[in-house]
Amino acid sequence: MAMRRVAFHGRHLLSSSHLFCRHMSTEPMAALDRIRNSGLLKTQGLVGGKWIDSYDGKKIEVQNPATGDVIASVPCMGSKETTDAISSAYSTYSSWSKLTAAERSKTLRNWYDLIIKHKDELALLITLEQGKPIKEALGEVNYGASFIEFFSEEAKRIYGDIIPAPLSDRRLLVLKQPVGVVGAITPWNFPLAMITRKVGPALACGCTVVVKPSEFTPLTALAAADLALQAGIPPGALNIVMGNAPEIGDTLLKSTQVRKITFTGSTAVGKKLMEGSASTVKKVSLELGGNAPCIVFDDADIDVAVKGSLAAKFRNSGQTCVCANRILVQEGIYEEFAKAFVKAVQGMQVGNGLVEGTSQGPLINEAAVQKVEKFVNDATSKGANVILGGRRHSLGMTFYEPTVVSNVNRDMLLFKDEVFGPVAPLVPFKTEEDAISMANDTNAGLAAYIFTKSIPRSWCVSEALEYGLIGVNEGIISNEVAPFGGVKQSGLGREGSKYGMDEYLEVKYVCMGNLKGT
């Protein structure tokens, strides 16, 4: 068994924690086999339609966070490869942007069909490199594909305008034209959907793209790019580079050929990219960190509130920017909610995402676990109580027990910052005003959730919350037809929906004058 693994992965990490997980390793091998047989295990970058290694031959390893196994090695690219990717996107722009909307639409639709055709392999790849349970991975493939389908349709709806002129011999026209070459930098928590949510509208508008996926999860991006080529997206319209993130980022930022940067990731990196875009005045869209409040009022339906907050908190083991980060519970319902919530959390199964029934996979890496530990220790040292979990899981690796911490307050890290892990902090509050004040007491402003049976309260609190997305009696709110994005330091711009197209379009005004003789 071990021998086969050695041959299969090229390298096998033999740590004690890995040995602990050894009984799981047959499934990852079978999964990898299936992906390889489908032709979707791509391990090179994509520049100008060609699969290439890094110019200096350097590589980085991609690991399965559930086992520590090395799944594959991919090129560690930098400035040179990125410059070539930009050139290829730039030269392809002139032809891609001139196709009719119907032609671009058709090609995107082909891509969507291929993603759906290969959804099982893509889901396996996501689980292998990212760790999320296979059911969630399949959900991500459908979600990710939906952006390609939606934007293939929106490609045909890029309308301009005719404005009544203030002078009779003029005609005023408004055209919408693609921005140009787009640099897209994406995170590891949604290895497919964060790419399609950017690349879908960019290609639909006539832009061409250089994508830099996370180095933790490049394989899904490469497989999706292969399907894009198969779908007929021309060589050079979609390029993928990965490796030295700051170097690739700087090259994209400095290039005058790149006209737009779109990014999903940490607020710290987002700020750097915004700053770096200033020198060439690029258009910028940023989807950054959140600190989502989930407010449960006394008048909430307790079952709906438990189900919704559980989904909002523990999806992807708490590793999404819209995950409920603070569960604010009104005093009258606090004890009852806490009891029911803990019971629901106890029912969650932690394990390798490939194992049926798993609802909580590992965290992405050791640093993520250490951050969670730091936040929990900080809370308990300031008077909070761990009422469930609170430790690394006995499975080892980066598994962490689904955790509930009660009596969290404004002084604790769990309140102030995004924990990005499976820890649910319960924060008691007295009045609606208190809840709104606590909810808005942060620089973040991405998602917020409210649980209440009152329609007036739903309206008033939704309007008072300084957030870009609000879920009322619902914990899962993202989809392709709705605008996704934050306010305050959670970002700029919107993704998905008809608004998502605007991010890749410039408005051009044409004044036709001297029409007297016509």
Residues at the interface with ligand ADP (CB under 6 A): 185-188, 212, 214-215, 245-246, 249, 265-266, 269, 272
Q: Are 82 and 248 in contact (CB under 8 A)?
A: yes
Smallest distance, Å, CB 299 to ligand ADP? 36
Residue, CB closest to ligand ADP:
249
Smallest distance, Å, CB 516 to ligand ADP? 54
Q: How many CA atoms lie within 13 A of 435 on its CB side?
A: 29
SS (H, E, C) 439-461: HHCCCCCCEEEEECCCHHHHHHH
Q: Does residue 287 carry a catalytic annotation?
A: yes
Which tokens go with 259? 């006209």
Pick the closer one to ligand ADP by CB: 62 or 185.
Answer: 185
Measuring CA to CA, which residue among 195, 189, 221, 194 is closest to residue 365?
Answer: 189
Cα of 401 vs its chain's centroid, Å: 23
Which tokens go with 155? 């490609």
Rounded Cα gap, residues 415 and 425, in angstroms: 8
Q: Are 44 and 219 in contact (CB under 8 A)?
A: no
Annotated active-site residue in 287, 432, 480, 503: 287
Smallest distance, Å, CB 249 to ligand ADP? 2
| φ/ψ (deg, to 5) at 443 | -80, -10
Helices (H), 64-133: 79-96, 101-117, 119-130
Residues 361/227/322/67 CA torsion (nearest 10 deg): 20
Pick the closer one to ligand ADP by CB: 292 or 388.
Answer: 292
Smallest distance, Å, CB 254 to ligand ADP? 12
Rounded Cα gap, residues 56 and 188, in angstroms: 25
Smallest distance, Å, CB 28 to ligand ADP? 23
Q: Are 432 and 297 in contact (CB under 8 A)?
A: yes
Residues belonging to the active site? 287
